[in-house]
């Protein structure tokens, strides 16, 4: 009888601990997607959805109930150009550096290169001795290649120097 109780308790403990691991893994995945979505929005990436309001589709990652008629995305993929945006599952929002964007008010704005120049300029203005190679980038600059292939490093740099990045957002402190 004691063996049966022990086995039942052990099985219950095992199931509870496995459930906790899955929850932690899913939370970490959710946070990664949130960081990608925020980064893509801040870097003015274009996406595989025809829209003048990219934030609306980024929001479907987190709040699918806001507009139930919108397609729901659960993941983001970064690519270098729109030609690479094919062959992804329907739940993946595919984004790439933009050449320029049209704002909701009809005004044109700079694209991803402009954002890089703005953010890097502000970082170096406030921190002239910063060397991006110290963070793992191949050069002491941030390139279009880096915002796609090394987005996590660039994101971490922007988080580290967010006080110099007027506009990168206080939300990053909590991520």
Confidence of residue 171 (pLDDT cuts 50, 70, 90): very low
Range 66-83 average pLDDT: 79
List C-alpha distances in Å: 56 to 44, 47, 51, 103, 126: 13, 12, 9, 13, 33
Question: Do 102 and 92 form a contact (C-beta atoms < 8 A)?
Answer: no
Query: What is the number of domains present in the chain?
Result: 1
pLDDT tens per residue, range 20-60: 555 777 888 878 888 888 888 888 888 877 654 555 556 65
Residue labelled with tokens 């899955």 = 22
pTM above 0.85, yes or no: no
Whether 88 has a pLDDT exceeding 90, the answer reads yes
pLDDT tens per residue, range 91-134: 888 999 988 756 666 655 678 888 888 889 889 988 899 999 99
Residues whose CB falls within 8 Å of the CB of residue 48, separated by 6 or more in sequence, listed in order: 82, 85, 88, 93, 94, 95
- Domain boundaries, position 60: 2-174
């Amino acid at each position: 009888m004691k063996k049966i109780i022990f086995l039942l308790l052990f099985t219950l403990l095992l199931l509870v601990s496995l459930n906790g691991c899955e929850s932690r893994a899913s939370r970490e995945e959710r946070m990664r997607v949130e960081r990608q979505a925020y980064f893509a929005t801040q870097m003015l990436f274009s996406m595989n959805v025809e829209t003048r309001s990219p934030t609306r589709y980024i929001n479907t990652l987190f709040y699918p109930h806001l507009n139930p008629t919108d397609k729901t995305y659960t993941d983001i993929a970064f690519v270098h150009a729109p030609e690479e945006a094919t062959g992804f599952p329907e739940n993946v929002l595919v984004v790439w550096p933009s050449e320029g964007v049209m704002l909701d008010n009809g005004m044109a704005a700079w694209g991803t290169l402009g954002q890089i120049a703005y953010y890097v300029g502000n970082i170096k203005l406030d921190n002239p001795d910063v060397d991006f190679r110290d963070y793992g980038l191949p050069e002491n600059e941030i390139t279009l290649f880096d915002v796609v292939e090394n987005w996590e490093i660039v994101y971490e740099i922007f988080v580290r120097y967010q006080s110099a990045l007027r506009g990168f957002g206080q939300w990053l402190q909590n991520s």
